[in-house]
């Protein structure tokens, strides 16, 4: 039960951190006129591709983290219901 809470928090923080890092890199790559500066066309294509893949990985981490937290809340609720039933029987 606690494992799903820990995993959920870790994946959620990792996903949000990855999104923040990618967006920060993109922000600081922009020049005064708002255009992104790359040293070559190849680096532009490669960096943008890697950032898109990283963004989808971050979305997956966030979704998995939220699902793990949801599983934890369901397990906690089920355990509370079982404890109430046990107390009613006694």
Q: Is the pLDDT of residue 90 over 80?
A: no
DSSP state of 8: H
Task: In whole angstroms, give the CA distance from residue 66 to residue 13.
Answer: 10
Judged on CB neighbours under 10 Å (0-12, 13-18, 19+), 47 is middle
- Residue 81 has what pLDDT? 85
For 1-30, what is each residue's pLDDT tens digit?
788 899 999 999 999 999 999 999 999 888
What pTM does this model have?
A: 0.82
| 26-78 pLDDT, tens digit each | 998 888 888 888 889 999 999 999 999 999 999 999 999 999 999 999 999 98
Residue with token string 């990985």: 57
Contacts of 15 (CB under 8 A, 6+ apart): 58, 59, 60, 61, 62, 63, 64, 65
Residue by residue, DSSP assigns 64-79 as: HHHHHHHHHHHHHHHH
């Amino acid at each position: 039960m606690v494992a799903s809470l820990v995993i959920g928090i870790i994946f959620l923080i990792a996903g949000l951190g990855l999104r923040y890092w990618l967006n920060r890199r993109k922000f600081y790559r922009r020049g005064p006129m708002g255009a992104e500066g790359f040293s070559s066309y190849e680096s532009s294509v490669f960096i943008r591709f890697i950032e898109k893949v990283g963004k989808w990985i971050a979305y997956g981490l966030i979704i998995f983290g939220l699902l793990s937290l949801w599983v934890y809340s369901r397990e906690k609720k089920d355990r509370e219901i079982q404890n109430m039933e046990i107390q009613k029987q006694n």
